[in-house]
Amino acid sequence: MNRLRKMPMKNFWTYFILVLLGSTMIVPFIAMVSQSLKPGSQVLEYPFRWIPENPSMENYRMLFKQNPIMRWTLNSFIVAGGSTILQLITCSLAAYAFSRTSFPGKDILFWMMMSMLIIPSQTTLVPLFLLFSKLNLTNTYTALLLPTASSAFGIFLLKQFMEPIPKDYDEAASLDGCTRFQFYSKILLPMCKPALAVLATFNFVTQWNDFLYPLIMTQTRDMFTLQIGLSALQASGSRGEMGGMGVVMAGAVWGFIPTFILFLLLQKYLVEGVSSAGIKG
């Protein structure tokens, strides 16, 4: 209370607004968890009850019993995790080449790559499907992973982070007998942890939540990712069946957990990455 009294008014209002905005962000998640713990008859009741009267895990039990949720979750992990690992490798290598080496046509190549950023992903859906169907690779993990194995955004992000690092490090490492790869892997990459964390989080969440591309590329239920599977639940959920919206909410909570855990693990680096972006020299 004393600390509150000593707080300057402008700080008080700043925190007040931040708490208010933060609350509006977190309210849907609280509602989602609340709904997932309610029995079917209470999910759509009016007025809305924030704390379930008789919370139970029945919706989660039904979710796992009636759907291959674990298989869908595994597929999502393979796609999101595999894509993230591939991007961390390919984008960091490309960023290293663009930021710390010199070769003919480097600038042209870089801007050609950057121009891909303006192409909406939706325009490449059908051509990619045509390509993979001709290669007989539809409905495979290869088709899901290959298009996302690298990205112009990731290369740009890491290049911008690597460029300000003084070239003295390269020279010193070279004098100490480091090869280029050793310098890249043992010196440069550890210095880029914040940027790598940002790329990993951004890409994992994007691929985890991607719906349209996996929907088009997969053809059998066992290859669905979690988002496709949960989308099919909504139809029966909205009709009040199969436990109704409670099961749908349980699915949404389940789908949210991995990205939440990832964020918790990497938040230190994410904050570092965001805060160091504004500091020069």
Partner 1 sequence: MKSHGKLVRMLRATLLTICVLLLFAASTGLAARQETVTMWAFPLCSDDIEMYSKLVNEFEKENPNIKVHVEVLPWQGRMEKLMAALAANQAPDVMYLNVFLVPKLAATGNLAPLDKYLPSDVRADYFSGAIKSCQYDGRLYAMPVLQSVVTYIYNVDLFKKAGLDPKAPPETWAELEEAARKLTCDTDGDGKIDQWGIRFDLNRPSPITSVVPFVWQAGGDLISADGTEAIYDSPEAVRAVEFIKGLIDKGYMQKSNIQGGGLPFTSGKIGIDLQRENMDVIKLRAEGLDFEIAAGPILKDAKKIGYGTVGSYGILGKSKNKDAAAKWVLFLTRPDNMAYIMKNTGFVAPRKSVSPAKYVTDPVIKQFVEQAPNCRPETPHLYIQEVLSTMQPAIENALLGLKPVEAALKEGTAEANRIMRRK
Which of 247, 224, 179 is closest to 39 using CA atoms? 247
Which residue number, 68 or 82, has a Cβ lying nearer to partner 1? 68
Which residue number, 155 or 228, has a Cβ lying nearer to partner 1? 228
Phi/psi for 231 (5° steps) reads: -65, -35
Q: Between 138 and 177, how does the x/- string for binding to partner 1 read (CB under 8 A)?
A: x---------------------------------------
Q: Give the C-alpha separation, 231 to 226, whole Å.
A: 8
- The span of 93-101, 107-115, 184-192, 208-216 binding partner 1 (CB under 8 A) equals 208-216
Torsion of CA 93, 96, 98, 104, to 10 degrees: -80
Q: Give the C-alpha separation, 96 to 180, whole Å.
A: 10
CB of 220 to partner 1, least distance (A): 7
CB of 238 to partner 1, least distance (A): 7
Which residue number, 182 or 234, has a Cβ lying nearer to partner 1? 234
Cβ 94 vs Cβ 79: under 8 Å: no
Which of 112, 80, 18 is closest to 209 using CA atoms? 80
Question: Considering the rule CB under 8 A, would residue 41 count as an interface residue with partner 1?
Answer: yes
Under 8 Å CB-to-CB from 244, ≥6 apart: which residues? Answer: 40, 43, 44, 237
CB of 215 to partner 1, least distance (A): 5
Question: Considering the rule CB under 8 A, would residue 209 count as an interface residue with partner 1?
Answer: no
Which residue number, 101 or 238, has a Cβ lying nearer to partner 1? 238
Cβ 253 vs Cβ 247: under 8 Å: no
Using CB under 8 A as the binding criterion, the count of chain residues that bind partner 1 stands at: 35
Question: Considering the rule CB under 8 A, would residue 115 count as an interface residue with partner 1?
Answer: no
Cβ 84 vs Cβ 268: under 8 Å: no
Question: Considering the rule CB under 8 A, would residue 42 count as an interface residue with partner 1?
Answer: yes
Footprint of partner 1 on residues 118-137 (CB under 8 A)?
A: 125-126, 129-130, 133-134
Question: Considering the rule CB under 8 A, would residue 219 count as an interface residue with partner 1?
Answer: yes
Burial label, 84 (beta-carbon count in 10 A; 0-12, 13-18, 19+): buried
Under the rule (CB under 8 A), what is the footprint of partner 1? 40-46, 66, 125-126, 129-130, 133-134, 138, 211-212, 215-216, 219-221, 228, 231-236, 238-242, 244
